[in-house]
Amino acid sequence: MDVLLVEDDNAIAEPLIRGLERQGFVVHRESTGLGGVAAFHSRPSVDIVLLDLGLPDIDGYEVCRRVRSDSTVPIIILTARGDEIDRVLGLELGADDYMVKPFGFRELIARINAVTRRSNAPGTTKEDIAKLTGDVTLDSRTRKVTVHDEDIQLTRKEFDLLALLASDAGATQTRETILEQVWDAHWYGPTKTLDVHVASLRKKLGDPTIIETVRGVGFRLRSNADNDSAS
Ligand code: CA
């Protein structure tokens, strides 16, 4: 697996690279934000981006935004800044996860495995393409989602979340189930992450009512049956 590490601090980067290489990862490291963006675009083999926020030129948020503008590659933000506002901003810009320094190497490997794990969210139907409510289609084979026949760009987690809800439209998925299936059985990040992803997904789908909040329980996809009874 190819890792792009964007980190300007040698004291953090060097042991990280050694550890990742020992685990069989191929690591390419950049020390600047612009270098990171350029390296990403010149290396199509990159499977995951590990991204520091405090970089000498453009910051990690901007790197995240630029990489995310045309790619769904998993991004984990490595941040020394612990406050909530930064973390939420990172997720809103399309990062899949973040880790606050200092972090344990094992935890990092677990997070890498969690975000790169090929989605095993259950398929939507026997066919690859499912027509969801409100003119949304979801193609589980190509992982493409369209709204009114227009492609929309979802991050890997957003797609997995939508696919999970779509696997049983109308049924409520509990927060625990979603975190377990879409993130990882060992997810112990903030549950706020889920809300941020739901908010972003609603925005991209252009209709906040497609995903309903079931207060205190979880979320459900509005089903076509709901539409029929409403009209
Ligand atoms: Ca830094």
Domain boundary among 116, 143, 159: 116
pLDDT at 183: 79
3-state secondary structure of 5: strand
Specify whether 33 is located in the same domain as 96.
Answer: yes
3-state secondary structure of 216: coil
More confident residue, 122 or 102: 102
How far, in Å, from the CA of 12 to the mean position of ligand 1? 9
CATH code of 57's domain = 3.40.50.2300
Specify whether 85 is located in the same domain as 160.
Answer: no
User: Does pLDDT of 106 surpass 90?
Assistant: no
Domain boundary among 116, 137, 169: 116
pLDDT at 225: 65
How far, in Å, from the CA of 186 to the mean position of ligand 1? 28
122, part of any domain: no
Specify whether 87 is located in the same domain as 154.
Answer: no
pLDDT at 57: 97
Specify whether 90 is located in the same domain as 40.
Answer: yes
How far, in Å, from the CA of 74 to the mean position of ligand 1? 20
121, part of any domain: no
Domain total in the chain? 2
Specify whether 140 is located in the same domain as 94.
Answer: no
Specify whether 64 is located in the same domain as 88.
Answer: yes
User: Does pLDDT of 176 surpass 50?
Assistant: yes
User: Does pLDDT of 181 surpass 70?
Assistant: yes
How far, in Å, from the CA of 7 to the mean position of ligand 1? 6
How far, in Å, from the CA of 8 to the mean position of ligand 1? 5
How far, in Å, from the CA of 202 to the mean position of ligand 1? 33
How far, in Å, from the CA of 159 to the mean position of ligand 1? 30
The domain in which residue 201 lies consists of: 129-230
How far, in Å, from the CA of 69 to the mean position of ligand 1? 23
Provide the mean pLDDT of the chain: 84
Specify whether 53 is located in the same domain as 157.
Answer: no
How far, in Å, from the CA of 139 to the mean position of ligand 1? 39
Specify whether 133 is located in the same domain as 170.
Answer: yes
User: Does pLDDT of 126 surpass 50?
Assistant: no
* Cα 166 to Cα 106: distance, rounded to the nearest angstrom: 33
pLDDT at 71: 84
46, part of any domain: yes
Domain boundary among 87, 116, 145: 116
Residues 184-213 pLDDT 10s: 766 666 677 888 899 999 999 988 889 999
How far, in Å, from the CA of 59 to the mean position of ligand 1? 9
Specify whether 33 is located in the same domain as 64.
Answer: yes
Contact in structure between 90 and 54 (CB atoms under 8 Å): no
123, part of any domain: no
Specify whether 88 is located in the same domain as 143.
Answer: no
124, part of any domain: no
Strand runs labelled E in 45-121: 46-52, 75-79, 97-100
CATH code of 174's domain = 1.10.10.10
Residues 24-64 pLDDT 10s: 999 999 999 999 999 999 998 899 999 999 999 999 999 99
Radius of gyration of the chain (CA): 18
How far, in Å, from the CA of 33 to the mean position of ligand 1? 10
Specify whether 95 is located in the same domain as 138.
Answer: no
Phi first, then psi: what are they for 62, rounded to 5°? -70, -40
pLDDT at 122: 43
Contact in structure between 94 and 64 (CB atoms under 8 Å): yes
Query: pTM for the complete prediction?
Result: 0.59
Specify whether 144 is located in the same domain as 97.
Answer: no
pLDDT bucket at 130, cuts 50 / 70 / 90: confident
How far, in Å, from the CA of 57 to the mean position of ligand 1? 10
pLDDT at 119: 37
Average pLDDT value for residue range 121-143: 66
Q: How many helices (H) and strands (E) does the chain have?
A: 9, 12
pLDDT at 128: 59
* Cα 32 to Cα 60: distance, rounded to the nearest angstrom: 9
Q: Which residue has the tokens 């490997």?
A: 109
169, part of any domain: yes
Please state the separation of Cα 31 from the chain's center in Å. Answer: 23
80, part of any domain: yes
pLDDT at 118: 47
* Cα 57 to Cα 55: distance, rounded to the nearest angstrom: 6
Measure Cα distances from 107 to 22, 104, 183, 190 in Å.
Answer: 15, 5, 14, 15
